Structures are given as structure tokens and as C-alpha cells.
């Protein structure tokens, strides 16, 4: 097996989870971006917009829509344009208006185990929210990481949708999102147990594809299994382009963080390969972008138009990656050091780009007003 040799670094503060783990350390020096490989085969799935798409987000002076928050992690939008934001260490779900003003607690997820990189992590809103009112959350519990769903009204306890994802002080993954196919996708981490990433029977170190009820989705690579792809270290960003092609961000260990083009059944190499390396005759799939861990520690991801936006923690910047038919162009660093550690990026229904900071997670330099959510409106 040809594998990329991993640098022997005494401290592993470069690239995966959230909080006190080994991946989101202090910001570092300049990075080298690797050239993308040949274009993968485009996905057949996709969705067509019924109205003209808004222009690209204006990354100039943003609107502060919420301040004084505590480690913003998940961010998802309700049909009315308001956002729901998750605070990792409090378990609170907050409603945030695009007009700004005071963020209001609308739910508190019970049973959240806080510590290290665990806590209340990703959020997703049901694509049928107008009918079913379901909000989904990925969180750390006493015994595992799990996905639950709940309704904001009524105060009922959440319903467990999927559980048994191993937890640890780091590498808990945590991003969830509904894809264009209406299925629920979840990025998980290896929970510091590298062998789980290559174990097809473990949900750790994977991207999972589930029905809204939490069952393995029909059409998965292996019938009856929730596993969509394997060989991941710690996935915290999921996004789809207008043609339905899927992308994910992944923390490396000591050398290279990644953006991967996600295709069903593919193996993305961890722990045998970090960044680009030998594919073992096609057994492993190389990333389309890599960065030095000092310049990235990539968490949230979102796509507007033909640009992938990646929130960087250790790198304290927003990476913009041009996309063409599933291929990545040269990334560009924006907002370098301006707002500190960026955890979450999301595109609102009106085309605005929202960013959430993570400066109170024990690794950032806390600024006055942190943590905050910023809104960059779409250009008309």
C-alpha cells in the first residue's frame, strides 16, 4: 500500500473536531494548495431553481445579526427566512432574524454531554417543515453521538433518530444536512479510533445517508447499511452544487486538510492516506483540494452559484473555491483573521451568506461581542 507518511509532530492541534481536541489549534503560517485531480463523473441527481438565482454574496462589511453567543456550531434556516443556531456548550437552539436583534432561545436539547469537541453540534430543518415541523440535531450524549429530532412548539422531548456513533474528546464529526434527494446526510468522525474509518460496520469515520426517520436510505451502496462513504477522519462540512454533486470538508492530522467530491461507495483513504496519495489502484479517492492544517481546519461548507465557501477554524479565514463541473479551481482566502475562528457557513434562502464564529471554544482569541453570526447579503 502506498500511503502518505504522516509527520511526527508532538502536538496534534491541527485538524479535526471542535474544542479541546487535536485539530483546531492556534492559527498558523501560509499554505500550499494542491492542484485538483481530473474531474470526477458528475452525479445524475440535481435540482432546478424555479426562480433566478441571486448574485454572489458581498464579502464586504457584513451585518451582525447576533452577538454574545457561546460557540456557534449548527446553523439552519426555517421557511420564513429566520435561522436556527446551535450553541455547542449550552445545548440551546436560538432563533436568529436576518434583520438582527436579540437571538431568542426556542428550544434546549436535553441530555447534551459537553466536553472537548462534543456538545450540541449540527442542525438541519426538515425539507417538509411546513407540514411536519421537524428540526434535527446531532449531539453528544452520555454514551454516544446521536441524531435527534424535535418540534419547536410544545416542549416535547426529542425523538432519537439514529444513535450508536462512538464519541470521544475529539473527532465527533457532527454536521448534518438534507440533500437534494430529501435524505438526511451526517458527517461523523473516527472518535480518535482510526480503525473505525475503514470498518464498514461502524458508523464512525463515515458519511451516513438516512431517511428522515433515521433508517438506512434506499439506494445506499450496501443495502441495509447507513454508510454512504467511508475512510474519513472528521467530516464537519457538507454541501451540494446546483447539479446535485456533493462535497465535504475533512480535517487532516498533521499535514493536509481536504475538500472531497463525495460519490456513493467511495473510500477516501483515512488512515492510510492523508491528503493526496496512492490510491491502491482506485481503492482510495483523492481530494480535489488540500490545505496545510495551519491554514484551514475546515469546518462548515456551503455553495452559492459556482463557489464553495469553507469556514476555517485554525486558519481564521473563509476559503472560496471556484467549482466547474465538479472540479475545483484555485482557492482564495477571504476575511483572513478578521473575525477569528470560523465554524459555520450557510447560504440563506435569499442568497445571503451567513457565518458563525467559534472564538469561545477554548482555542480562539475572544473578541468583544463573540461569539457572533454575520450576514453577507447577496449582490443584486
| pLDDT tens per residue across span 184-209 | 999 999 999 999 999 999 999 999 99
- pLDDT band for position 51 (50/70/90)? low
Considering all CA atoms of the chain, what is the largest pairwise distance in Å, rounded to the nearest integer? 55
Question: Can you tell me the distance from the alpha carbon of 250 to that of 234, in angstroms, rounded to the nearest whole number?
Answer: 6
Give the CATH architecture of domain 63-376: 6 Propeller (2.120)
> Is the pLDDT assigned to residue 271 strictly greater than 90?
yes
* pLDDT for position 155: 86
pTM confidence score: 0.89
> Is the pLDDT assigned to residue 40 strictly greater than 80?
no
Q: Please tell me the total number of residues recorded for the chain in this structure.
A: 380
- Average confidence (pLDDT) over 337-352: 97
Query: Hey, where are the domains in the chain?
Result: 63-376
Q: What are the pLDDT digits (tens) for 303-319?
A: 999 999 999 999 999 99
- β-pair partners for 162: 147
| DSSP category for residue 345 | E
Average pLDDT taken over every residue of the chain: 89
- β-pair partners for 333: 319
- β-pair partners for 356: 344, 373
Amino acid at each position: 500500500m502506498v500511503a502518505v507518511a504522516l509527520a511526527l509532530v508532538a502536538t496534534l492541534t491541527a485538524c479535526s473536531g471542535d474544542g479541546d481536541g487535536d485539530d483546531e489549534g492556534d492559527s498558523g503560517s501560509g499554505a500550499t494548495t494542491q492542484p485538483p485531480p481530473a474531474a470526477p463523473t458528475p452525479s445524475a441527481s440535481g435540482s432546478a431553481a424555479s426562480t433566478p438565482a441571486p448574485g454572489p454574496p458581498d464579502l464586504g462589511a457584513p451585518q451582525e445579526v447576533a452577538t454574545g453567543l457561546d460557540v456557534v456550531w449548527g446553523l439552519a434556516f426555517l421557511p420564513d427566512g429566520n435561522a436556527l443556531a446551535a450553541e455547542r456548550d449550552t445545548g440551546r437552539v436560538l432563533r436568529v432574524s436576518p434583520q438582527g436583534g436579540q437571538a431568542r432561545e426556542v428550544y434546549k436539547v436535553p441530555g447534551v454531554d459537553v466536553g472537548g469537541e462534543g456538545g450540541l453540534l449540527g442542525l438541519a430543518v426538515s425539507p417538509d417543515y411546513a407540514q411536519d415541523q421537524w428540526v434535527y440535531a446531532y449531539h453528544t450524549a452520555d454514551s454516544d453521538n446521536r441524531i435527534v429530532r424535535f418540534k419547536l412548539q410544545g416542549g416535547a422531548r426529542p425523538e432519537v433518530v439514529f444513535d450508536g456513533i462512538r464519541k470521544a474528546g475529539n473527532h465527533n464529526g457532527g454536521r448534518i444536512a438534507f440533500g437534494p434527494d430529501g435524505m438526511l446526510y451526517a458527517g461523523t468522525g473516527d472518535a480518535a479510533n482510526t480503525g473505525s474509518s475503514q470498518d464498514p460496520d461502524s458508523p464512525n469515520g463515515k458519511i451516513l445517508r438516512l431517511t428522515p426517520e433515521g433508517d438506512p436510505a434506499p439506494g445506499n451502496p450496501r443495502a441495509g447499511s447507513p454508510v454512504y462513504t467511508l475512510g474519513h477522519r472528521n467530516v464537519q462540512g457538507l454541501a451540494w452544487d446546483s447539479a446535485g454533486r456533493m462535497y465535504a470538508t475533512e480535517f487532516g492530522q498533521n499535514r493536509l486538510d481536504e475538500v472531497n467530491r463525495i460519490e456513493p461507495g467511495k473510500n477516501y483513504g483515512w488512515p492510510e492516506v492523508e491528503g493526496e496519495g496512492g490510491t491502491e489502484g482506485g481503492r482510495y479517492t483523492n481530494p480535489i483540494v488540500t490545505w496545510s492544517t495551519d491554514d484551514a481546519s475546515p469546518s462548515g461548507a456551503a455553495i452559492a452559484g459556482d463557489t464553495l465557501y469553507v469556514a476555517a477554524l485554525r486558519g481564521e479565514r473563509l476559503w472560496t473555491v471556484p467549482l466547474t463541473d465538479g472540479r475545483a479551481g484555485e482557492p482564495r482566502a477571504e476575511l483572513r483573521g478578521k473575525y477569528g475562528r470560523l465554524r459555520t457557513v450557510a447560504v440563506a434562502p435569499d442568497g445571503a451568506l451567513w457565518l458563525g464564529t467559534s472564538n469561545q471554544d477554548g482555542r480562539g482569541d475572544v473578541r468583544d461581542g463573540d461569539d457572533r453570526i454575520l450576514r453577507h447579503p447577496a449582490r443584486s
